[in-house]
Amino acid sequence: MSITLPTYSRLEIPLLGRRQRVWAIIATGLRKELRRPAAIVVMALGAAFTTITSIAILFIATIIPSGQAPNLTFFAGPASNFFVLFFVSLMASVIGAGLIADDLQSMAFTLYLSRPITQLDYLLAKAAILAPLVAMVTILPLLLAALVAAFLGFFSWTIALEAMGISIVVGGLLTLFYTAITLFLSSLSRRKGIAGAGVFAVNFGLTIPAEVLTIVIGNRSILYLSPWDNYVAVATAAFGASSTGIDWAVALAILLGVTVLAALVTYVRMKAVEVITG
Amino acid sequence: MLVETAGLTKVFGEVRAVDDLTVKIPDGAIGLVGPNGAGKTTFLRLLLSLLRPTAGTAKVLGRDIEDGLAVRERIGYMPEHDCLIPDMTGVGLVSYMGRVSGLDRDTAMSRSHDVLQFVGVEEERYRKVAEYSTGMKQKVKLAQAMVHDPQLYIFDEPTTGLDPRGRSEMLDLVGTIAKSPGRNVILSSHLLPDVETICKYIVILDGGHQIAAGELSQLLSGGTDRLRIDVRGDRDAFARLLKDAGFDADAGPSGLHVSRKPGLEAAVFETAKSLGAEVRYMGKEIRSLEELFLELVARTEKPGA
Amino acid sequence: MNGVVEAVGVSKWYGEVLGLNAFTASFGKGITGLVGPNGAGKSTLFKLLIGQLHSDQGKITLLGENPWNNVPLKRRLGYCPEQNQLYGWLTGQQFVETLLRLDGMPAAESRKEATAALKVVGLSSAAHRPTRGYSRGMRQRAKLAQALAHHPEILILDEPLSGADPAGRVHILRTISEFAKDGGHVLMSTHVLYEIERVTNNIVLIHNGKAIASGNIHAIRALIDTHPHAVRIETSKPRQLAQALARMEHLVSFEFPAADTLLVRTRKPDAFYRELPQIVSDTKLDVRGLESPDDSLDAVFRYLVG
């Protein structure tokens, strides 16, 4: 016979390594997003809408007689699909904006930091939650469009596969950019609303004025101000289509530079945040 | 040694929050006390390796704080402020924190239920943290510090905002942990009687310096051998009669204070009988941690003031 | 019936949530401690007393007057809310001064009174710093200063000690005691029972929106006869002492927890303490120590609230 009362109990097994700890944050974070109605709606709508429009753009390009045989350049169309911009903004603000801001608001950030992980681990985990979800509108539609087009026989499989490869690279670039920017904005304030508004401001506040000004003034270098136009320049160049008027190499440098800068600033801020809340 | 520091310094701008601190803190239940701005929180964050020292070194459980991961694997931290993720359930949050500490999923879940049971969070554990009362939140904060079974617990004001019942429950839990073999506690609190009941060893900080440290019993002894007597009745007459009988008695706000001499106790009851007074308390006069604290802090303030 | 606070059947509901429920009590001369679990209704009571809330039922008076819509009464009271948010951009001096101006005091006078009040609470050295940089204990003292500055007759303090460091606590308690010594009344709530006991024996115990006990703490303790009063006596001959004490009729039990200790339980503590000196000095037994582990607010709270 024995009696066991609830008491202070001991842990008998050793702790797992750092990779599993980071993975726990990612898995829990992803699961949480996949259960949130707002996030699901945005993701489903975003993925569906961008995919359908991308396929439509590709389809229209092939039936309009352009005197060209279907080739890789046709894919520049879906890659610069404006709906991607819209949904990436929506997704970043609905899902990404709260990733760090919520932890600052609830001060759960202290809890994370009191665990055996580093600030960098925390940031990488948060990035790893956001990136795959953003990729659902930046990479997935391009892949599906290429797949569908190849199945329907518009393109040869060689071209389609090549297009998918390029899509992963340019879509990946856009994904990284938005992940870094969103996390940066999210780390700035305790209110996720501000971060969410910031994402829209960065996108439309820069893209639309830049495009309008370009038309009014006629100087295309203003487009370097717009992340979206930079991305489009890189994407069209990657697919070998005719230039949009700005140099793709400069555009690429700007995108990468901003991405790295945003990531760095976020990291430095996270290191300092504990001191501020103390 | 639980904590060993040498010249530990942390400077924020112009504030020397921790200033050339050299301490040796033994294993066991440690009380960390000091006025606001004494550097307690900074000191604790340095121990957790969340801040990098401006100068000096520190070892926690024999490990250098440079090695933050190894140190934090062995520490359970209960912050003073709210820190729980509001849209998670109690059990979900605690097991999540266990996983972030390196437990596998099943172990984390099993331990989460164990520690929530231990702290007394029953079926509420399936509800969202946002709906919890203050007392319940404090218990979950304690549970998340326990889930990975650390060797060192750091409690920062664990009873803040709790009502009397919540306070005594929380103190019981902290006391139970402090008594577990191989488990150490650093309790930082403004409520000195709480520190007195839990801790055996006290470190007093002020202005980033250690102004006193040692076994509680030793720090508090050294007072004169006096008796405190709580009298109900004519207190002044009581003191006068004792003085007449040759005892050195004076009446203070908390009762009579009398130097101990043979025959004192008998004289006290004799006096009570003759005056028709009641003796409600009689015992050795013990200095409280608060008296010691105020005395030490006042002493260090004088040169600067 | 002339307590500073008179409440008869006062109820206050927040929708379905209980604030006070047929609260009836009379108290408030000198310092009175209000104790009770979280959500018992202490803050609701305070807000009714300062006229911030209107009771749904019953009658409540402060200093003999109905607090609702009673501006002159507000000049006679000083209130410290529980919240620790101040106007962070104001300095301590400006904060107190501004509130004094709201009271209708001329500028020059309010400057003088604010300086004096901040001195009383020990904040003079920080008076010209913005309050956003104040620690929690300093905020408590700034709140106390604004409650004191217009020389009210009664202070109503909601958790005035929470967050303060030991030196701050002592200072706040001393300020409160001195205010009461000068003839003022103080109502304060706290969760830290031993701190109430240091300044007063008068308490009101609130639970589930009702006053379940009010008055002198020792008298209340004596009324709880389901829990006999324990007295621990340190003596070299515990069994002989027990024999000598056994003729007291109100004793319930003896225990010998250690070789030099006798634990007595009695139903009538007053009688016990009255008779004890006689017995001890008659029998010449050596009694070295005497204490009652459960004659405290903490014990009363435990027995009544559970």
According to DSSP, residue A15 is labeled P
Percentage helix, strand, coil for chain C under 3-state DSSP, each rounded to 5: 40, 30, 30
Contact residues, chain A, for B105 at CB < 8 Å: 24
* List of chains touching C (3+ CB pairs within 8 A): B
In this structure, the number of other CB atoms found within 10 A of the CB of residue B2 comes to 20
B and C touching (3 or more beta-carbon pairs closer than 8 Å): yes
Q: Inform me whether the pLDDT recorded for A275 exceeds 80.
A: no
Report, as an integer, the average pLDDT of B45-62: 91
Contact check, Cβ <8 Å, C291/B282: yes
HEC states along B98-139?
HHHCCCCHHHHHHHHHHHHHHHCCCHHHHCEHHHCCHHHHHH
Nearest to A196 by CA among A269, A104, A89, A43: A89
Spatial CB neighbours of C247, under 8 Å, sequence gap ≥ 6 = none
Test B99 with A28 for CB contact under 8 angstroms.
yes
* CA of C222 vs chain B CAs: smallest distance (Å): 13
Q: Which of C35, C39, C291 sits opposite B283 (nearest CB)?
A: C291
Q: Which residue has the higher pLDDT, C223 or B79?
A: B79
Would the pLDDT of B68 be above 60? yes
Lateral strand order in the sheet of C210-216? C77-80, C154-158, C185-189, C31-35, C202-207, C210-216
- Give the span between the Cα atoms of A227 and C112, in whole angstroms: 60
Closest Cα partner for A120 from A273, A278, A270? Answer: A270
Considering only CB atoms, B36 lies closest to which of C165, C193, C284, namely C165
The verdict on a CB contact (< 8 Å) between B279 and C284 is no
| Count of residues in chain A | 278
Give Cα A152 distance to the centre of its chain: 29
**Which residues of chain C neighbour B272 with C-beta distances below 8 Å?**
276-277, 281
Provide the pLDDT for residue B188.
94
Q: What does the alpha-carbon distance between residue C162 and residue C143 come to, in Å, rounded to a whole number?
A: 12
- Please determine, for residue A9, whether its predicted confidence score (pLDDT) is greater than 80: no
Beta strands in chain C (DSSP E): 5-14, 17-27, 31-35, 57-62, 77-80, 154-158, 185-189, 202-207, 210-216, 229-235, 251-258, 261-266, 287-291
| Partner residue opposite C38 with nearest CB, options B134, B266, B280 | B134
Inspect the interface and report whether the beta carbons of B118 and A8 lie closer than 8 Å.
yes
* Structure-token match 């000191």, residue found: B43
Crossing angle of the two packed helices A119-138 and A140-151, in degrees rounded to 10: 30
Residue contact B83–A107, C-beta within 8 A: yes
Q: Which pLDDT score is estimated for C50?
A: 92
Q: Provide CB contacts within 8 A for C187, sequence distance 6+.
A: C4, C5, C28, C32, C34, C46, C49, C154, C155, C156, C157
Q: What is the ipTM of this complex?
A: 0.86
Q: Do A21 and B72 touch (CB under 8 A)?
A: no
Question: With a cut of 50, which residues of chain C have pLDDT below it?
Answer: none
A242-270 average pLDDT score: 88
CB atoms within 10 A of CB A66: 11
Whether A and B touch (3+ CB pairs < 8 Å), yes or no:
yes
The set of residues, in sequence order, having a beta carbon less than 8 Å from that of A42 and lying 6+ positions away, is: A87, A90, A91, A94, A95
What number is the average pLDDT over the span A20-38?
Answer: 92
How far apart are the CA of B182 and the nearest CA of chain A, in angstroms?
11
Determine the average pLDDT of the residues in A13-42: 91
Residues of chain B in contact with residue A11, where contact means CB-CB under 8 angstroms, are 103, 107, 111, 148-149
pTM comes to 0.84
Instruction: Write down the pLDDT at residue C270.
Output: 83
Q: In Å, how far is C244's CA from the nearest CA of chain B?
A: 15
Q: Do B266 and C281 touch (CB under 8 A)?
A: yes
Cβ separation A11–B12 shorter than 8 A: no
Evaluate whether chains C and A are touching (3 or more beta carbon pairs less than 8 Å apart): no
Average pLDDT over residues B213-237: 80
Could you tell me the strand order of the sheet in which B75-78 lies? B75-78, B152-156, B184-188, B29-33, B201-206, B209-215
Q: What does the pLDDT read at residue A206?
A: 85
Q: How confident is the model at residue B47 (pLDDT cuts 50, 70, 90)?
A: very high
Collapsing DSSP to helix, strand or coil, C7 comes out as: strand
Q: Does A25 touch chain B (CB under 8 A)?
A: yes
Contact B269 C298 (CB under 8 A): no
* Closest CA–CA distance from residue B166 to any residue of chain C (Å): 8
Query: Which pLDDT tens digit goes with each residue over C246-280?
Result: 888 888 889 999 889 999 998 888 888 888 988 88
**Model pLDDT for residues A137-185, shown as the tens digit of each residue:** 999 999 998 898 888 888 888 888 988 999 999 999 999 999 999 999 9
Chain B residues touching C35 at Cβ < 8 A: 164
Q: Are B70 and A108 an interchain contact pair (Cβ–Cβ within 8 Å)?
A: no
Q: Which residue has the higher pLDDT, C149 or A277?
A: C149
Output the pLDDT for position B38: 85
**C211: phi then psi, degrees, rounded to nearest 5:** -85, 110
Rounded to a whole number of angstroms, the distance from the CA of A101 to the nearest CA of chain B is: 12
CB of A274 within 8 Å of a chain B CB? The answer is yes
Percentage of chain A beyond pLDDT 70 is 94
Neighbours of chain A (3+ CB pairs under 8 A): B
Does B282 contact C287 at a Cβ distance shorter than 8 Å? yes
| pLDDT range class, residue B304, cuts 50, 70, 90 | very low
CB nearest to B294's CB, from C36, C166, C290:
C166
Which residue is closest to B301 within chain C, CA to CA?
A: C167
pLDDT score for A139: 92
